[in-house]
Each structure stands twice: as structure tokens, then as C-alpha cells.
A = this chain, B = another copy of it.
Amino acid sequence: MELIKIYECLCDRTRLRLLNVLAQGPVCVCHFQDVLGEPQVKISKHLAYLRERGLVESERQGNWVIYALPKKPSRELKANLACLQDCTRENAVFKRDLARLKKIEPSCAWVRAGEPENAPGQCRC
């Protein structure tokens, strides 16, 4: 039952925040640290947890790693991500995360635009 693996991913606050941010588009790990204000280990381990269960995909771009929601999400995943979006829309923490993301966005627009060939050697976040 894949559904249960999805719910297991969703029952942690940090992971919900990660998924909420990812709903806006691909994000690299250093962004997550800034946006969530959580230590690197924590971010990294929760992203690994999500990746192992197929809720996110990752791709290395030079020195850093970009995470994104699956290109081909299952019906169940799609439904639950939509539901999550719906449930968090008005939540302060989630809104704050998105606001912080927006501030960072301009400096790393290439990540979100999917233009890795423009990647600088060092992350400017």
C-alpha cells in the first residue's frame, strides 16, 4: 500500500514544510536551510527520507543538489499534495516559509527556471 508510505512522510512537521516549499518548484538544499531556518543535518535527513519513499527526486548540479517533486507523481501522491496545499494555505508557518523563499528566489532564479548550465561555482544563497 503506497498510500501509507505517503502518510508516513506527511506526519512530520519539517517534511510538511519541505513539501510546501517544493510545491513552488525545485529548490536546492542550501535554500531549504535558509527558508526553514533548520540545521543542515535535519534538512538533509528529511529530504533523504522523502526521496527513499518517492515523494521527491534529487539531481546533483555541480557542488549542490536540487530537490523537486516527482515529474510523474502517482494519483495518490498528486491527490495528497493537493490536499496538503489546501490545508496549509492559511497557516502562518507555511506562509512565512514561502515568503522567505520568495526573497531568496531572485538570486537563484536559474534553479527554479531549470537552467543548470548557468549555475555558478558557488551558491549565492
**What is the interface of chain A, defined by CB distance below 8 A to chain B?**
1, 3-4, 7-8, 10-13, 16, 75-76, 79-80, 82-84, 86-88, 91, 93
Contact = CB atoms under 8 A, between A and B. Distances in A.
A95 to B, nearest CB: 13
A88 B11 contact: no
A100 to B, nearest CB: 18
Nearest to A74: B87
B8 A4 contact: no
A81 to B, nearest CB: 10
Which 6 pairs from chain A and chain B are nearest by CB? A7-B11, A7-B10, A83-B83, A8-B11, A76-B87, A79-B83
A87 B11 CA distance: 18
Contact of A3 (B8, B76, B87): B87
A80 B87 contact: yes
A79 B75 contact: no
Contacts of A76: 87
A51 to B, nearest CB: 18
Given A1-B13, A7-B10, A11-B7, A79 B88 contact: no
Contacts of A1: 13, 16, 91, 93
